[in-house]
Chains A and B, each alone.
Chain A
Amino acid sequence: MQMPTLAFAYLPLILVAATAITVMLGIAWRRDHRVTVAVTVLGLALALVAQVAAWQVIPLTTPLLAFDGLAMLGGVLILASTLACAVLAHAYFETFQGAREEFYLLLLCAAAGGLALAASRHLASLFLGLELLSMPLYGMLAYAFHERRSLESGIKYLILSAAASAFLLFGMALLYAQTGELELSALMVSLTDGGAGAWGLAGAGMMLVGLGFKLSVVPFHLWTPDVYEGGPGPAATFLATASKVAVFAVLLRLVLTAPAFQGEWLNTVLWVLALASMLVGNLLALTQSNLKRLLGYSSVAHFGYMLLVLVVADGLAAEAGGVYLITYVLATLAAFGVVILVSSATDGEDAGGLHYYRGLFWRRPFLTAVMTVAMLSLAGIPATVGFIGKFYLIALGVEAERWWLVAGIIAGSAIGLYYYLRVIVTLFLAEPGMHRRDASPDWAVRAGGLVVLGAAVLVIALGLYPAPMIALANAAGGIIAP
């Protein structure tokens, strides 16, 4: 393995880290919101290009990181959603009282952590990546610290995330004690070969708790709605997209490369978690009247659906996982983007309450169209990309004959429709006299608006012609490095 090739694979990570340092030095020298955003966006865009270009050199493995198809796809998704968050944050923090620039520093650090996590194949890189991803998020979530809810959400995430990390570390320690391995695939092999033993089982279970917390899978989902609701829009968006993509990518690599992970008990645990997440997430979302909370519960349900990929881990699984991640990220970005645009015009708490959106269609038809498309996509209606994702998952379930999980997806979708439709119909109802909050009139020609419109257009375009997305996921799923 020559050095230049390896440097090529590392380039996105290096670029993101370099941008973070540049931004930090820039802030130390002179505060300027617009320049900071420009540097951030430029750095992320370059990293995205490098990430796409790095596709040429995979698969590559180093002792710590595996640059394979999954890492590439995860990297592209993480960088794209970070880019979207940075642009949206510009609109969001324009009227913010206080230091605005450090947010981008935190965002870049978290993105670097996400990239490392998505590519990790070693317990050390896994833990480093996860912590680098989580630590900046505490700051980002509590960024609007003069809002009580933002502060609350930051602290809540800090405490619970730290607890989850403790579980993860303890689990790792137990596994190391049992097997003497830190490399994930070797670890898995020796676990099956030598018999897991009580300590091994406990270790794997604890790691599952730690990672499940990050994915907000039932029963580790309790933080999700509060944190989503309280955190500033861009931070919540990052949490919902990039952070979850990274964790899911590493889990997917784990189950795909180590067939041992398909041991009887772990599989059972996974499918119980999946079923519980689908049903509980959707049922709890039913009564929400706050859009950000609703999106939180909806993401619980969506990761419940996605756990099906981990349960099956065969055949179409890698491809289905890739496709579903793409569909989920696009729709979530569009939905959160609208919330951010509506929230940004005024100070104070985010426009989470559904009543702010009543009759939005008659004031901002295209913004409403974006939100409608996002909701329909999350609900999995044809002509949106969400349908392709749902199609893949059901196909995967039918192929593997996991009828309970297929039934769970159908029941979950039927329940989910109720609240997605409620959001949609609210947008179109007659306008009330009160509670007006609105995006700025020229939202569509500003950078944030373009990001949101772009996501919505992609949702429709890939929904109608999914072949490029499928090819991408297929290519990514085809190259998995152990």
Chain B
Amino acid sequence: MILVWLIVIPFAGGLFCWQAERLGDRATRLIALATMLCELLIALWLWGQLDFQLPALDGSDTQWALEYRLPWIERFGIDIHLALDGLSLVLIALTGFLGALAVLCSWNEIVRRIGFFHLNLLWILGGVVGVFLAIDLFLFFFFWELMLVPMYFLIALWGHSGSQGSTRIGAATKFFIYTQASGLLMLVAILGLVFAHHANTGDYSFSYAVLKETPLSPTMAFTLMLGFFIAFAVKLPVIPLHGWLPNAHAQAPTAGSVDLAGILLKTAAYGMMRFALPLFPEASQTFAPIAMGLGLLGIFYGAVLACGQQDVKRFIAYTSIAHMGFVLIGIYAGTELALQGVIVLMVAHAFSASGLFILSGQIYERLHTRNISEMGGLWGRLGSLPGFWLFFIAASLGIPATANFIGEFMVLFGTFPIAPWVVAGASVGLVLAAVYSLMLMQRVLYGPTQDDTPLRGLDTREFSMLLSIVVLLLLLGLYPQPLLDTTSAAMGEIHRLFDTPSQLLPEAR
């Protein structure tokens, strides 16, 4: 039942915020913050309570630490079927934490219609938590599409009108159409799978565990796998399906960018690990070289295009594409080490990218520009903000002692036995990462100043937000073992499914 509460709390909190607007701004923000902290605390409490070292290898049905099931649409065998394992728990805790940050970072930025703003913000997070918990494919798709609507509103109504004539509504619409159309492809693939199962057994079922056993012809499996892959690839994003990302990031308010980079992109990686790989192991094996190639392409493409950006949020958006390239490579390498690295990298990127987006928001509040060429020489004018900027850039570059280093290292190390050439290429990509990171640092912090007047320093709220991210990044960078322990069973299961050829599957069970 607690799994249902995890989903219901953000939705209910959002409705409260909407109605609390008449009580004043402060009450609304406090309710939103309390909702997200509550979510975070439940996740952390579960983390302490549950045992994630489950013997998943014996093939019994106990790969979940917690499960909840309620019939929903019996005509098609659709259940409200939620389940939690280490992977979902980590991502839900991340959602709670970044949700609280998103509320905090819009404290001064959003001043209009804050009730409706927080409704949308919390509903996005509720939808994301639903995505992380649902293991009925219909329910998963339901939440997958549901979280788009509030995100659309967030960008379209509270976004910035960008440069070069690109409007926030245009960006929001582009985001929505990209993800919805690709989502429908996934729906077709889901239905294809369901009907394949129906043809075999005469039963309708959307259950993950049942559909995993469906025997498919290789062509069929490959086609269906592509349907899933494209939907996830749009969200991740993978070149050439990334067109929506820079615009959406540049136009979104800070809280929207934090949610997009921190959580929404992670739903795609989660979907690949939870659904695309285990449902179609052989097809995914076949597809792995292409996927890794696309990941490699993303690393270079993101890095090169980032260097040319003038808008600081577009800059960070392109670096996200590069980082997600590593994630894609790690997922399709499929070794346990690489998959574990993907988790660390996802968490680390969520922290570092959110940190950078929050900082850009704070710079924007002070300078009223996101144009890099109008910055410069901020080091002396801004109190402690440049220090944080430096740290997060170093983190996103993957300096040892930050979690990003652990993640990238594990991904590359884990991929090497499978695809050494990809690792060699990706390592070259790391050099490019250094180039763009140093550029971003140099052009924002150093160089000639535009103006000598000192700007307002960080207040307690801003300072503590940033400090908490820094502490987490360092903690994970220095001692990632608790995180790895939590997800090792789930990752081991994915690795086993991915690695075992289908002919051996019945014996393994």
Chain A residues at the B interface, C-beta cutoff of 8 Å: 361-362, 376, 381-383, 387, 391, 394-395, 398-399, 406, 409-411, 413-414, 417-418, 421-422, 425, 428-429, 465-467, 470-471, 474
CB distance from B166 to the nearest CB of A (A): 15
B232 within 8 A of A: no
Interface of chain B residues 63 through 89 with chain A (CB within 8 A): 72-75
Quick check: A421 and B195 within 8 Å, CB to CB? no
A474 touching B146 in the complex, CB below 8 Å, given contacts A398-B191, A406-B188, A418-B173: no
B157 within 8 A of A: yes
Listed by A's residue number, 11 A-B pairs whose Cβ atoms lie within 8 Å are A381-B146, A381-B180, A382-B142, A395-B194, A410-B184, A413-B180, A414-B184, A421-B176, A425-B156, A466-B73, A471-B75
B145 within 8 A of A: yes
At the interface, is chain B mostly helix, strand, loop or mixed? Answer: helix
Quick check: A428 and B185 within 8 Å, CB to CB? no
> A391 is contacted by which of B143, B146, B187 (Cβ under 8 Å)?
B187
Residues of B within 8 A of A394 (CB): 184, 187-188, 191
Known: A382-B146, A387-B145. 8 other contacts (CB 8 A): A382-B142, A391-B138, A394-B187, A413-B181, A417-B173, A417-B181, A428-B157, A470-B73
Interface of chain B residues 389 through 409 with chain A (CB within 8 A): none
CA distance A467 to B70 in the complex (A): 13
Quick check: B188 and A414 within 8 Å, CB to CB? no
CA distance A127 to B220 in the complex (A): 47
Quick check: A413 and B184 within 8 Å, CB to CB? yes
Residues of B within 8 A of A410 (CB): 181, 184-185, 188
A-B contact count (CB 8 A): 78
CB distance from A465 to the nearest CB of B (A): 8
Quick check: B146 and A383 within 8 Å, CB to CB? yes
Chain B residues at the A interface, C-beta cutoff of 8 Å: 72-75, 113, 116, 138, 141-143, 145-146, 148-149, 152-153, 156-157, 169, 172-173, 176-177, 180-181, 184-185, 187-188, 191-192, 194-195
Quick check: A414 and B181 within 8 Å, CB to CB? yes
Residues of B within 8 A of A428 (CB): 153, 156-157
Quick check: A425 and B157 within 8 Å, CB to CB? yes
CB distance from B237 to the nearest CB of A (A): 17
> B149 is contacted by which of A376, A414, A471 (Cβ under 8 Å)?
A376
Closest A-chain residue to B148, C-beta based?
A381
Residues of A within 8 A of B146 (CB): 381-383
CA distance A414 to B169 in the complex (A): 16
Quick check: A414 and B195 within 8 Å, CB to CB? no
CA distance A394 to B192 in the complex (A): 10
Quick check: B141 and A417 within 8 Å, CB to CB? no
CB distance from B91 to the nearest CB of A (A): 21
Residues of B within 8 A of A421 (CB): 152, 156, 172-173, 176
Residues of A within 8 A of B181 (CB): 410-411, 413-414, 417
Closest B-chain residue to A410, C-beta based?
B184
CA distance A382 to B75 in the complex (A): 18
Residues of B within 8 A of A387 (CB): 142, 145
Q: Which 7 pairs between the two chains have the least Cβ-Cβ distance?
A: A414-B181, A398-B191, A382-B142, A410-B184, A382-B145, A470-B75, A382-B146
CA distance A428 to B184 in the complex (A): 26
> A399 is contacted by which of B148, B176, B177, B195 (Cβ under 8 Å)?
B195
CA distance A376 to B181 in the complex (A): 15
Residues of B within 8 A of A413 (CB): 180-181, 184
Residues of B within 8 A of A471 (CB): 75
